[in-house]
Structure 1
């Protein structure tokens, strides 16, 4: 009984099986002796040090046990599989495929076993952490999941911290990530479909969606784009994001990436599709619209007025990070009249000994800060934060005292950098960093008119973007008045009954109309 319980605890790991193709090209298992099979598999793996092939005898039949020691739980193998195979089952003679199936049901029922019949299937199963048992004179081999399960434990997301809300985050194991979503959405309509992408890495990619809620056309489009990917390797969800994006020539992300299971779960219930990639804690959510990069799950865990205020802070911070340096350059170069006279005189006095024009001064500081930011990220964690903060203070102060830059320039760069960190999604903040340099250069030649022209082109560009056919500026452009309850402000949850109209969900209503609860009447007061 203990053996059966141990087997039931083993996680079932599926792997791609292509029996028809393998049957045409691979040799017949029954026609080869165990020694020949051993030599053939050893040749396939090139005598790698972690390949183990042991001969054993079970049910009076010679067999070959094959596995990669680095991919399986060897302790579980000894305590369950080998012990189970050592016990002979009465009435079972391994002569036909039906006998093999009967043996599997008796010894490994519920353990998620598979029968494979080609070398391609055997090699793939071994690489996915399975053990293979080949019985002499049998046409099929037995494959059992025996994954080591040595994954990173669930911890708080490192890139998306939270004050109030769940503290768990996705990890590199795709099966663990699916479990985190299942824990939040206990619904039989939550579906996951598997794809194997990468001719050399054979990376598992899942798409998750809510059957009966998600738009089937969008789900089909996701399937189609994933099926069309023909690359040799996939290591991170960013590879998938670039390969399935509607338009690659844009600095704006067309898929939302997040480490937070609660955020993905809420998007699934809205009708969106999640893309999970084995080996990374970042999950993609599509379709993505501009509003998604300014709202976070924590907005819905606190009072709606505070959530609305914080969301407006994010919009404001994005604009500050985008245009503040270019405004400084444009005003000092062409539009002095826009500043109050005392402020203008103070800035001119500070810049009296600065040898560079405003645009060179801004570019010099912006590039320096980008170098410090990258150095702080890449350096060891113990000293990275210290280097980025102290480096910025020391270099800024020293440059101002040396007369290379003005003090106001240090303030401008500091405000811009801090505002850029407000963005909850790193990939969206990176878009502002890139466009900021374009605005600075244009403002040096055309002033604020050039800044305005570039902003118009940015808005036009955003209007042309699509994420799986959904307009990127939805529900603002095209304007949908019913959907404005969760764009710039967050209305109370009880008032947001509809799912986003731009998704064209099969079930547009999230819950029936209830209204806000009213307080009970006081004692002695008549209720209406």
Structure 2
């Protein structure tokens, strides 16, 4: 039989996506999926069949109150040391005191007595049992009892809390998120000791069953935005979720854009500050990077250290970031446009110096730029992917050696090395890697249009970019807020930063439930004496 025929028959059916997901769900209904539907031996066989012959699956027969019992767990997911220490005498105290175990009520009473204060659940279906085992719990099934006991005993193997690798600061906290969801939540709660800080749980991914939390402060976060985040997460139907980037792409307002529509970070202090402002955090189990929504353009030029330094220094550093973004975006295209069409824009002395350096270079300016930009991108990628001990050496030494050799061979000019170096250094100033990547891609588009139309082409691309940014939304919030549409009250923390005591209101564009953030009346000035002199 040809394998093409079944494929054609499936195509003829034109199955809808909803029907496909229904087929992936367990076939048992609520009636035949409950423990009461199976005999003890049948349930044992079904559970062992569900996990197949996995090397880490354990199914142990025991006896509790003269009844058969089945203990199942995944050895790779539970703390085996604790398991061996606790299970032998797990129920002995209960039965030594004359307790019995013949009904669900007695099982509930036993669990309250033996497991009080621990993470335990009573499960009623086979699917719940399988999910609990996959989450790192041990499950005890007792003969003639219509409920199974799930006891949380997850292994504590995880990376220790270390300094963030991508968003470093000179002054500020040095701890960063890790791959453990519970640890990440605790890092946030240690900074926000507020009973209104809520976390809601979602399970996403048919195969991975990844746990996803959304965090917000009740009474501050806008309820409409919060409900929109919930709805988008509930609509996700995929087989696997491994990183926050998967979630970001699945919930973004617009997919076909170079600019990130959610702010990703691995800094707990950044998350805490944004929660206080009224934003919502999305935490994903298994990754140190979380998402903050809604995100606007100005978020990608701000870092937490801006608020730990004096406000004048914070304003200066923020201005440097805006300037560096424009330099990284425009320098190569301006070089191509001026040398190709607009020589008159350069002073005569500088123009003669550039022309003298380019004598003997066999390529036009656009080819020269593309050669150096592509070479630098290759070196950057090589430095990232290679082992850390040699990665930095390869990227730095490679750039110096290749650039110097190319200039001496007459393939490129010395001025081109300066242009690429300034562009690369300015690109590294961006505090968020995903936003810096957007400017890297736009740079090539600007170079192409500069070669075709000169500086008019650069202007056309910039106008189109601004128009595109104006059309973007992040969970309904305009991406250029509070610049366009302009919100006068929010200009205190955009291009410059006013003193912390004067930032009394939360951002208007977030439409928070509680607007006031700072309750002091005036600046912290020393008291004045009656005569007008300082006391």
The question of a shared fold, defined as TM-score above 0.5 by the shorter chain, is answered with yes
Q: How far apart, in 1, do the equivalents of 2:30 and 2:102 lie? A: 21
Pick from 470, 477, 486 the counterpart of residue 479 of structure 1: 486
CA distance in 2, matches of 1:84, 1:293: 53
Deviation at 1:318, TM superposition (A): 0.3
Q: 1:59 aligns with which of 56, 62, 65?
A: 65
Choose from 342, 345, 352 the match for 2:352. 345
Structure 1 residue aligned with 2:54: 48
Decide which of 158, 178, 181 is 1:174's aligned counterpart.
Answer: 181
Greater CA drift, 298-307 or 83-92: 83-92
Aligned to 1:231: 238
Q: Report what 2:516 is aligned to.
A: 509
In structure 1, C-alpha distance between the alignment counterparts of 2:170 and 2:49, rounded to whole Å: 55
Q: In structure 2, how many angstroms separate the alpha carbons of the residues matched to 1:30 and 1:217?
A: 43
- Matched with 2:268 is 261
Distance between the aligned counterparts of 2:413 and 2:451, measured in 1? 18
Question: What SS does structure 1 have at the residue aligned with 2:454?
Answer: helix
Deviation at 1:41, TM superposition (A): 1.6
Q: Deviations over 1:402-430 (max 9, x none)?
A: 00000000000000000000000000000
Whole-Å Cα distance in 1 between the matches of residues 72 and 429 of structure 2? 52
User: Secondary structure at the residue paired with 1:178?
Assistant: helix
SS of the residue 1:87 aligns to: helix
Asked if the contact 2:35/2:43 (under 8 Å) is kept, the reply is no
Secondary structure of the residue aligned to 2:202 is strand
SS at match of 2:288: coil
Structure 2 distance, partners of 1:317, 1:195, is: 39
Shift in CA distance, 324/497, structure 1 to aligned 2, threshold 3 Å: same
Q: Work out whether residues 475 and 502 of structure 1, in 8 Å CA contact, stay in contact via their aligned partners in 2.
A: yes
Q: What pairs with 1:376-387 in structure 2 (closer than 5 Å)?
A: 376-387=383-394
Structure-1 residue corresponding to 2:452: 445
Gaps of 5+ in 1: 1-17
How far apart, in 1, do the equivalents of 2:304 and 2:320 lie?
16
Aligned positions of 1:317-396 closer than 5 A: 317-396=324-403
Instruction: Give the one of 412, 421, 439 matched to 1:414.
Output: 421
**Partner residue in 2 for 1:490:** 497
Pick the aligned partner of 1:434 from 427, 438, 441: 441
* Mapped partners of 2:88, 2:187: distance in 1: 33
The answer (yes or no) to whether the contact 1:56–1:64 under 8 Å persists in 2 is yes
- Residue 139 of structure 1 corresponds to which residue in structure 2? 146
Q: CA deviation at 1:38?
A: 2.8
TM-score where L is the length of structure 1: 0.94
Give 3-state SS (helix, strand or coil) of 2:492's partner.
coil
CA distance in structure 1 between the aligned counterparts of 2:194 and 2:59, rounded to whole angstroms? 43
Deviation at 1:29, TM superposition (A): 4.5
Match of 2:213 among 197, 206, 221: 206
| Structure 1 residue 82 corresponds to structure 2 residue 88 | yes
Secondary structure of the equivalent of 1:184?
Answer: coil
Cα distance in 2, alignment partners of residues 98 and 504 from structure 1: 49
Q: Alignment partner of 2:44: what SS?
A: helix
Pick from 277, 282, 290: which aligns with 2:289?
282
CA RMSD of superposed structures (Å): 1.8
**Residue from 87, 109, 115 that aligns with 1:108:** 115
Residues of 2 paired with 1:523 and 1:459: CA distance? 56
Q: Distance in 2 between matches of 1:430 and 1:456?
A: 20
Partners of 1:31 and 1:213 lie apart in 2 by 49
Contact 1:58 1:88 in 2 (8 A): no
Output the CA distance in 2 between the equivalents of 1:209 and 1:513.
24
1:5 — aligned with what? none
How far does residue 22 in structure 1 lie from its aligned partner after superposition? 5.3
1:480 CA drift (Å): 1.0
Work out the CA distance in 2 between the residues paired with 1:21 and 1:415.
63
Gaps of 5+ in 2: 1-24
Post-superposition Cα deviations, 1:430-486, rounded to whole Å, max 9, x if no partner, equal 000000000000000100111011101111111111000000010011111111110
Q: Distance in 2 between matches of 1:432 and 1:390?
A: 25
Residue 213 of structure 2: SS of its match in structure 1?
strand
1:355-397 CA-partner distances (Å, limit 9, x unpaired): 0000000001000000000011111111111000000000000
**Counterparts in 2 of 1:521 and 1:393: CA distance versus 1, 3 Å:** same
Decide whether the 8 Å contact of 1:157 with 1:167 is kept in 2: yes
Q: Judge conservation of contact 1:23–1:117 (CA < 8 Å) in 2.
A: no
Give yes or no for contact 1:63–1:135 (8 Å, CA) kept in 2: yes
- Distance of 1:258 and 1:495 partners within structure 2: 26
Aligned equivalent of 2:132:
125
Deviations along 1:314-337, one digit per CA (max 9) or x if unpaired, are: 000000000000000000000101
Q: Aligned partners of 1:24 and 1:396: how far apart in 2?
A: 72
- 1:9 aligns with none
CA 1:313–1:81: 2 relative to 1, 3 Å? same
Contact persistence 1:92–1:102 (CA under 8 A): no
